[in-house]
Amino acid sequence: MDNRIEMRSAVRVRASQACDGVLDDDGRRELAELLSRDASLVEDYAAFVATDALVEIATGVRTLEMPESVTPQGAAPREERASRVKNDIARRGPSPGWSSALRGFRSQWKPLAVAATLLLGVVGWRLTLPFAHFVAVDDARWEGGETYAVGSQLGRGWLTLEQGNARLTFESGAMVSVQGPARFRARSSNGAEIEYGVVSVRTPESASGFRLKTPDYTVVDIGTGFRVSATESGASHLHVTEGRVEVYPGGSPEPLRLSAGQLASAAGPGTPLSVVDRVDPVCSESAEYEAEHPASLAYNAYDHDDRIKVFLESYRRELSGVVRLNCTESGRHNRFDGVAARLEPGEVASTYLVHSAPTRRRHIVEGKITFPGRILGVVCSSDGLNATNESLGAGWSLQCAHPERGLESTPNRNGDYIWISPDRRSLSVVLKTESIDQLRVLVAE
């Protein structure tokens, strides 16, 4: 029953049977299955029941047959509910017509609403229960002074995150990271919508089909991870970090299919969505660019390799806060504990993570990486890397918070070296790695 019209028709047939008290067990199971597949059908069902309640006001109320299997826990017994509704209307007498019904509606709607709500049964919870929960909130400021702690529930309403970061898990298992400023909402237990902001999504198998709606297009997961960065002016960028996605430009029935490492951009509402030329850096033999992100680069979570790995963390991200850079000038650097320069909010940069985790201790690896744009600066210290994980990092993938992940300055015996080329396009590194070394490179478009 994949056809949407057929599904809606089937829901209305079952809703009618429920209102008439003749919905059998097979019908209840079919109704629950239909409503679990599409949240908009729940709204259709609720509207049908509400309309039926209005008709009953005008014509007299039948005793509603409420199967115990769809009775919410803690509700009054079926006979008591039906008797209460019937007696309430009996005290007022039958309504002679719609005019009288509407005049008396304010006093009569409550018992009917109770009965109609009970008809929704175990599937009606989707209208009221949360679609997602907050699992992390970092330096967040919300419009209107709202506060959301870890464990807070997220329903259907719009939220405006003025600054900071929030992470959510949806009922389907999908994981969503939001960076402010952002305006977003949950649309279902396996879908969300964003007006602007940066949203990173990672989905387990249980959340396959997760949908993220933007002003320009809708992204549908096919077992993957992706990030959307949308500005308040309407421009947006999509970066697929794992697996594959289908992208439906506004109103188009034909999807654009993208795989890990691919990017697409739209200049604003009504503009076409176009695939961006690859922005892969060029690496020397001892270094390698990885288009697909591993889930984690945390301690003991990554695969050890004697080559340097390079990942695109974010594409053309607009900075939401000050970024402190350890190295900015062309030439050789071996001190990484000072602040060489600051990038101000509003600047746009793509960020790359350079990662080394060799198979043996005290391994020395050298490599050269040429980026598709000018190097604005490098974050090399452990504190700086950890502090910019949320604002510049890759959302749910590439996660790492190792306390010694940064580069060591001389005269440390494991002192590292980096060179920024005169044209500021290439970065050469000599990494003396005990367990893990990383640096974050900010590149202008």
Specify whether 348 is located in the same domain as 208: no
Does 82 share its domain with 104?
Answer: yes
Same domain, 210 and 113: no
Same domain, 45 and 85: yes
Cα–Cα distance for residue pair 352/179, rounded to 1 Å: 18
235 and 300, same domain (yes or no): no
Q: How do strand 417-420 and strand 331-333 relate by DSSP bridges?
A: antiparallel
Domain final residue pick, 127, 151, 185: 127
In whole angstroms, give the CA distance from residue 405 to residue 411.
18
**In a 3-state reduction of DSSP, which class is residue 44?**
helix
Q: Are strands 305-318 and 287-290 parallel, antiparallel or unpaired?
A: parallel
Is the domain of 181 the same as that of 223? yes
Indicate if 265 and 300 belong to the same structural domain.
no
Is the alpha carbon torsion for 144, 147, 148, 153 positive or negative?
A: negative
pTM (two decimals)? 0.69
What is the tally of structural domains in the chain? 3
424 and 288 inside one domain: yes
At residue 338's C-alpha, the angle toward residues 347 and 341, to 5°, is 25
Query: Are residues 138 and 178 located together in one domain of the fold?
Result: yes
The string of DSSP codes covering 152-169 is: -EE-SS-EEEEEEEEEEE
157 and 107 in one domain? no
Question: Final residue of a domain: which of 249, 276, 303?
Answer: 276
Distance (Å, rounded) from C-alpha 330 to C-alpha 216?
40
Per-residue pLDDT tens digits of the chain, which is 445 residues long: 346 666 767 777 777 777 666 777 787 778 877 777 766 666 566 656 655 554 444 334 443 333 333 333 343 443 444 444 344 434 434 333 333 333 333 334 333 443 344 344 434 434 445 789 999 998 899 998 888 888 888 888 899 999 999 999 998 999 999 998 999 999 999 999 999 999 999 998 888 899 999 988 999 988 789 999 998 888 889 999 999 999 998 767 788 999 999 999 988 777 888 898 778 999 998 999 999 998 888 777 777 888 999 999 999 888 888 999 999 999 999 999 899 999 998 899 999 999 998 887 778 999 999 999 999 999 999 999 999 998 898 888 888 988 889 999 988 888 999 999 999 999 999 999 888 999 999 999 7
Contact (Cβ atoms closer than 8 angstroms) between residue 439 and residue 419: no
* Co-location of 202 and 288 in the same domain: no
Structural domain containing residue 305: 282-443
Q: Looking at the structure, do residues 323 and 207 belong to the same domain, yes or no?
A: no
